[in-house]
């Protein structure tokens, strides 16, 4: 289930569902942006095959992928699997656009909460999530391969009656 795009991509950029043909380009970005924590290429392929519980998107500029994200939804929870923006495109609202897309999709799928993990040493990402209503609820010690803690954050989407 892919809902209509609820928030437009920043001007001049296109957002669309990620395809298997995007994996090589996404994986190159993944390795560059997350050298200590990059997903294996096969993991992206496997995630795209889980159409009942996953949604992945890419943002492109003139056909070049410059951002991507992924959402898992296994009710009642949804989880931000990944979100990444090419550093040359930071500050243009792309991260906000992708986060809103995942929030809106989680709501459309009737999830009650949206969870994510963020590196303790990434205050910029933490600030983005906080601005969108996420709160830190837990810490996973040494979660990342290089020993950095993960902060678990949650956004309550709605409380069942």
Q: Is residue 111 within 8 Å of residue 76, measured between CB atoms?
A: yes
**How do beta strands 64-74 and 54-61 pair?**
antiparallel
CB 75 within 8 A of CB 111: yes
Q: 161: which residues sit within 8 A by CB, 6+ positions away?
A: none
pLDDT band at 126 (very low <50, low <70, confident <90, very high): very high
CATH topology (fold) of 14-116: Aminopeptidase (3.40.630)
Tell the burial category of 73 from Cβ atoms under 10 Å away from its Cβ (0-12, 13-18, 19+). buried
Minimum mean pLDDT among 55-59, 75-79, 124-128: which range?
Answer: 124-128
Handedness of CA 115, 117, 123, 124 (dihedral sign): negative
Q: Residue 7 — very low, low, confident or very high, per pLDDT cuts 50/70/90?
A: low
Report whether pLDDT(3) > 80. no
| 20-69: pLDDT as tens digits | 999 999 999 999 999 888 999 999 999 999 999 999 999 999 999 999 99
Provide the pLDDT confidence category of residue 12 given band limits of 50, 70 and 90.
Answer: confident
């Amino acid at each position: 289930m892919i809902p209509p795009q609820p928030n437009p991509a920043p001007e001049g950029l296109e957002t669309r569902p990620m395809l298997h043909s995007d994996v090589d380009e996404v994986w190159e970005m993944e390795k560059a942006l997350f050298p200590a924590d990059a997903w294996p290429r096969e993991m992206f392929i496997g995630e795209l095959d889980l159409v009942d519980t996953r949604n992945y998107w890419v943002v492109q500029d003139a056909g070049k992928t410059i951002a991507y994200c992924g959402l898992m939804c296994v009710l009642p929870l949804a989880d931000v699997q990944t979100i990444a923006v090419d550093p040359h495109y930071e500050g243009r609202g792309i991260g906000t656009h992708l986060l809103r897309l995942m929030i809106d999709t989680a709501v459309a799928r009737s999830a009650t909460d949206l969870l994510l993990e963020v590196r303790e040493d990434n205050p910029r990402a933490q600030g983005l999530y906080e601005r969108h209503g996420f709160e830190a609820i837990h810490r996973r010690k040494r979660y990342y391969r290089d020993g950095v803690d993960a902060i678990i954050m949650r956004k309550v989407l709605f409380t069942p009656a």
